[in-house]
Chain A
């Protein structure tokens, strides 16, 4: 009876968004009389940071301070239409919609400022700190608040913008089966080390090394947060979680957290993350989405590492102690392919 160590690798491409009848997101942006902006979205921030990222995108596009933008989400009765927060699509689809809405609102804001300054709107720039001034002449300036107030109370102008970003439905070519359901992919590579116990069948992930390509990381701390938490979910799916342990037999399905097991804070593996930034051509400021693909490479990498450790190819997830022990018995014990260390 012994512990066996193994190493496994996996690389994945993961599509951003989906292809069910087209994939649109809408955004509405408007200014309030105090010169601050509200972005209305129907997409939901589940904790992944969608409000933070769309706020950054709106502020960057409008040319105003981050503090001057409020993102209002998640009321699909009153907000503009959105397909939703799923398919790793939030940053890409909503970000692009927000850019378009903010560009339109910015144009009206500059026209309002131009009327007050008696200049051409095309000659105006923003400094990102709440001021609009003539290009090359910072003293010819007006605050965004003053421009918004002039628009509201003197000019009778609405500083607002509408944005939609749509990836149209890609139909399948009936002759060739060819289609283009996706415009952009995120990528990941993962190397894991495991330790397998051939007496208990338990497999522990002991180390994770990853590289993720997410376009431009619009908010690096949020990206890291997604990757770290998502890889943990991947580890959990690989070796712990299932609702139907004997699928398709529903027997022994867990009904509570006593039976539905997850790796706890004592079961973590060190995870070394590298983020590769290659701005996406059709992404908002180059961003794509780390959403789901942060979890995906862990599963095949763990399965490969188990094969490396004990020579057992497990083809049904999760890799439970029972499957390992049954597999080892069937093949006459652990057959390490290459001893690690």
Chain B
């Protein structure tokens, strides 16, 4: 199979890796680049576990061809913590017990961070809308919504 070099930015750092022909962005990030935070849930765009940002917009990595991200800025949950300091959203997820098995958590965090970057004061309805593409099997969603709202209202730490 043909391989093609792809230059892109991952969480602010320039990166380059070979993409297999037809490889999707999820496999490319996990196998080719080694960022394991995007999760493989369904592989067909219905669960949201692989949510990443491409040039600031949330995308389902399993539905994006890796070759198409040439020159793009990719954001994953691995980029949320900087220099050992967690993003306030990550702190809020801990404070609100917003994870159990944790499989949906990276995708949830990416969706929530994208929402707050675009809309720092979302309503509950806007939070619900923002995570409506991310399935969670454990929490019943309420702790996740509460965690995101707590950051939105500027009180990340209880």
Contact of A257 among B42, B99, B131 (CB under 8 A): B42
Of B2-10, B82-90, B142-150, the one with at least 4 CB within 8 A of chain A: B142-150
A231 is an interface residue with CB less than 8 A from chain B: yes
B interface residue count range (under 10 / 10 to 19 / 20 to 34 / 35 or more) = 20 to 34
In the assembled complex, the CB of B131 is this many whole angstroms from the nearest CB of chain A, namely 5
In the assembled complex, the CB of B93 is this many whole angstroms from the nearest CB of chain A, namely 12
B47 is an interface residue with CB less than 8 A from chain A: yes
CB neighbours (8 Å) of B140 from chain A are 228-233, 268, 271
CB neighbours (8 Å) of A121 from chain B are none
15 contacts between A and B (CB under 8 A): A48-B100, A222-B97, A225-B100, A228-B139, A228-B142, A230-B140, A232-B140, A257-B47, A258-B46, A262-B137, A264-B135, A265-B132, A266-B128, A266-B132, A271-B140
Least CB separation from A226: chain B residue: B100
Given contacts A229-B100, A257-B42, contact A268 B141 (CB under 8 A): yes
B120 is an interface residue with CB less than 8 A from chain A: no
Encode contact with A along B65-99: 1 for CB under 8 Å, 0 otherwise.
Answer: 00000000000000000000000000000000101
Which of B46, B47, B127, B140 has most chain A Cβ within 10 Å?
B140
Least CB separation from B48: chain A residue: A257
User: Which residues of A from 121 to 164 have beta carbons under 8 Å from B?
Assistant: none
In the assembled complex, the CB of A291 is this many whole angstroms from the nearest CB of chain B, namely 12
Asked if residues B141 and A257 are in contact (CB atoms below 8 Å), the reply is no
User: Which residues of A from 223 to 255 have beta carbons under 8 Å from B?
Assistant: 224-225, 228-233
Known: A46-B100, A222-B97, A268-B141; 12 extra A-B contacts, CB below 8 A, are A46-B101, A47-B138, A49-B100, A229-B140, A232-B139, A232-B140, A256-B42, A256-B46, A262-B135, A264-B141, A265-B128, A268-B142
Asked if residues B46 and A264 are in contact (CB atoms below 8 Å), the reply is no
A46 to B44, CA, bound (A): 25
CB neighbours (8 Å) of A46 from chain B are 100-101
B14 is an interface residue with CB less than 8 A from chain A: no
A271 to B142, CA, bound (A): 9
User: Which residues of B from 46 to 74 have beta carbons under 8 Å from A?
Assistant: 46-47
Contact of B145 among A47, A49, A265, A271 (CB under 8 A): A265
B32 is an interface residue with CB less than 8 A from chain A: no
CB neighbours (8 Å) of A232 from chain B are 139-142
In the assembled complex, the CB of B110 is this many whole angstroms from the nearest CB of chain A, namely 16
Asked if residues B102 and A47 are in contact (CB atoms below 8 Å), the reply is yes
CB neighbours (8 Å) of A262 from chain B are 135, 137
In the assembled complex, the CB of B3 is this many whole angstroms from the nearest CB of chain A, namely 30
Given contacts A228-B143, A229-B140, A232-B141, contact A265 B100 (CB under 8 A): no
CB neighbours (8 Å) of B97 from chain A are 221-222, 224-225
Which of B102, B135, B142 has most chain A Cβ within 10 Å?
B142
User: Which residues of B from 107 to 158 have beta carbons under 8 Å from A?
Assistant: 127-129, 131-132, 135, 137-145
A49 to B46, CA, bound (A): 28
A228 to B79, CA, bound (A): 30
In the assembled complex, the CB of B115 is this many whole angstroms from the nearest CB of chain A, namely 12
User: Which residues of A from 282 to 329 have beta carbons under 8 Å from B?
Assistant: none
In the assembled complex, the CB of B144 is this many whole angstroms from the nearest CB of chain A, namely 7
CB neighbours (8 Å) of A48 from chain B are 100
Contact of B139 among A225, A256, A264, A271 (CB under 8 A): A225
In the assembled complex, the CB of A251 is this many whole angstroms from the nearest CB of chain B, namely 21
4 closest Cβ pairs, A-B complex:
A232-B140, A47-B100, A47-B101, A257-B46
In the assembled complex, the CB of A23 is this many whole angstroms from the nearest CB of chain B, namely 24
A276 to B31, CA, bound (A): 48
A153 to B29, CA, bound (A): 49
Asked if residues A265 and B144 are in contact (CB atoms below 8 Å), the reply is yes
Given contacts A225-B97, A225-B100, A229-B100, contact A257 B142 (CB under 8 A): no
CB neighbours (8 Å) of B128 from chain A are 264-266
A224 to B139, CA, bound (A): 10
A233 to B100, CA, bound (A): 14
CB neighbours (8 Å) of B47 from chain A are 257
CB neighbours (8 Å) of B44 from chain A are 256
CB neighbours (8 Å) of A230 from chain B are 140
In the assembled complex, the CB of B22 is this many whole angstroms from the nearest CB of chain A, namely 21
